[in-house]
Every structure is written in C-alpha cells, then in structure tokens.
Amino acid sequence: MSAPLRFRFVTSADRLDRLPATRAEVAFVGRSNVGKSSLLNALAGQKRLAHTSKTPGRTQLLNLFELGDGTTAVDLPGYGFAAVPNHARRGWQEMIEGYLLGRRGLVRVLALVDGEIGPTDLDVMTVEWLDHHGLPFTVVASKLDKVKPSQRANRRRDLAAGCGVDAHEVLWASAAKGDGIEELRGAIVGWLRDGVDDRPIADDGPATGSPAASITEPTASASEPAAATPEPPAAVPLARGVLFGGVVVEGDPADEHEWA
Ligand SMILES: Nc1nc2c(ncn2[C@@H]2O[C@H](COP(=O)(O)OP(=O)(O)OP(=O)(O)O)[C@@H](O)[C@H]2O)c(=O)[nH]1
Ligand SMILES: [Mg+2]
C-alpha cells in the first residue's frame, strides 16, 4: 500500500508571479465541484488540507502544497461556475491560463472530469487547450463511487472518447472511497521525480510567457509595494530559492477568500 503524499500547505496566490519557485509541480485543473481539492486531500490522507465544499467555487486562488523535497502541487480554482460575475470569471481565467502557460517546473496537469456525468463541453475545450499548448496532461475521472459497477466499463470508454484520449490513459479515482488513489499517488511521485529540475534558479531563463523574476523573486518592488499587494494576505512570496532549502512559509488555506 502506498503511503499518503505528505503535502503541506505553503501559500495561496492570485497570480503566478506570487508563487514561489518549484523543482517540479503537478496541478489539478477542472470544472468547479469536480473534486480537485477532495482528490488532493485523499492523496495526502487528510480531510481538511485543501478546502472543499458542496458549493461550486470554493477554491478561488492558486493554492500551493509542498512535499518536503521542493516538489509541489497546485490546487486551482474551478472553471464553468456560472454564478460568478463576468469580470471575476475573466480574472480567474487569466489567473489559471497565466499559471498553466507560465509556470516553470509544471510537469503534469491532472485534468479532472466528473466520472459520473462525463466530460462537459468546457472539459473537452480544456483538454484540447492543454493539448494545443503542448502541456503534458492526464485525464483523471473523479467520483468513481458514483458510477454503478455495472456501468463502469461503458463509462470508461465513453468518457475517454469524449476527451479524445485512449481509455487506458484515463485514471479513475474516488476521493470518497479511496479507489484509484494509490495508483494516482504512484503516478504523481513518478511525474515529480522524473520532472525535477536541478538547475540553479538564478541561471534559469524566463519561463514561457512569464518573466523569470516574477516567479523567483519576491513580489515587492518599487512599482508594486508590498503594502499595495491585493488579497489574500496569505500570498507571501518566498525569497529566491527558499523552497529549494525545504523551508516553506507556513500558512493556512483558510486564509483564502471565503465565498461571498
Ligand atoms: N461521492 C463523491 N463525492 C465527491 C468526491 N470527490 C469530491 N466529492 C464532492 O464533490 C464536492 C466538490 O468537491 P471539491 O473537492 O470541493 O471540488 P473542487 O473541484 O475543488 O471545486 P472548486 O474548488 O469549486 O473548483 C464536495 O461536496 C465533495 O464532497 C468523490 O470521490 N465521491
Ligand atoms: Mg477546490
């Protein structure tokens, strides 16, 4: 039996350039309520590491968790949440796309699709978008416990076909019951291990679509004083290379915005 992934919460950020650097990172992407945060908790063997809710839109920031060796996971806000004002939705989209396109060290995107209801149009668009941008991704079907055993074979085939991938490439999991969690842990450990970038941060060039300095250096600058840093207060940038030393900023995901 594989051990839980010992994720520790590091920080929440509303922009890519407020995240500390990583050696290798996986990210959880998917529709609001698909079960991203629950899956992270199940992988960690904890109930309240990442905040979950029946109400869509619980996660509203880039939430960074660290494994103790400088490798990390990011729980992203969900998409497709209709009850968000347009300007806020645009902001989320920019935040998520900016992160996905610009994050140095992102080695695998876990694209979650609800196993019970199958891929929505937005899920398909997301998978196509990831593919188009050459981002390595794996489709993870969530909530396996909600699919009757008699329907699972068909559902596996249909969900994969809907996403345009082979059925054997889709990982199925139930955060609620634990099915598939061990396999997913093994896959994540493998992706992170294989993706570790040991080059010194200072020598790295800019990450695609994002200035290197914005990833590896503190956010505070003459043009953007710390005092003017928007919410959340927990979005404390780490100094260059701090994460490599295994030192992380302690915080609490509860500092994330509450849904109003
Ligand atoms: N039955 C079942 N319910 C699940 C499972 N995973 C998550 N849920 C439920 O689905 C709801 C949403 O879960 P979250 O983990 O908060 O979903 P999310 O994708 O993080 O949502 P956002 O933060 O809004 O993007 C909660 O009520 C969870 O209890 C699962 O494996 N099985
Ligand atoms: Mg969430």
The string of pLDDT tens digits covering residues 82-129 is 666 777 777 888 899 999 999 999 999 999 999 999 999 999 999 999
Nearest CA to ligand 1 atom 26: 54
Exposure string of 101-136, with b = 16+ CB inside 10 Å and e = fewer, is bbbbbbbbbbbbbbbbebbbeebeebbebbeeeebe
Q: What is this structure's pTM?
A: 0.79
Q: Would the CB of 145 count as within 6 Å of ligand 1?
A: yes
Q: What percent of the chain has pLDDT over 70?
A: 75
Among 137, 139, 136, 151, CA closest to 180: 139
Structure tokens at 253: 């995901």
Among 196, 167, 46, 28, CA closest to 107: 196
Q: Would the CB of 255 count as within 6 Å of ligand 1?
A: no
The string of pLDDT tens digits covering residues 238-252 is 222 222 122 223 334
Do residues 23 and 197 make contact, with C-beta atoms less than 8 angstroms apart?
Answer: yes
Closest ligand 1 atom to Cα of 32: 25
From the CA of 55, the nearest ligand is 1
- What is the chain's alpha carbon radius of gyration, rounded to the nearest angstrom? 18
Domains of the chain by start residue, with CATH: 8-196+229-255 (3.40.50.300)
From the CA of 77, the nearest ligand is 1
Query: What pLDDT is attached to residue 86?
Result: 77
Beta-sheet strands, E only, within 58-136? 62-66, 71-75, 106-114
User: What end-to-end distance do the CA atoms of the chain give, in Å?
Assistant: 41
SS3 222: coil
Structure tokens at 110: 């876990």
Per the DSSP assignment, residues forming a β-bridge with 108 are: 26
SS3 77: coil
**DSSP-H helix ranges across 121-237:** 121-132, 152-163, 181-195, 212-216
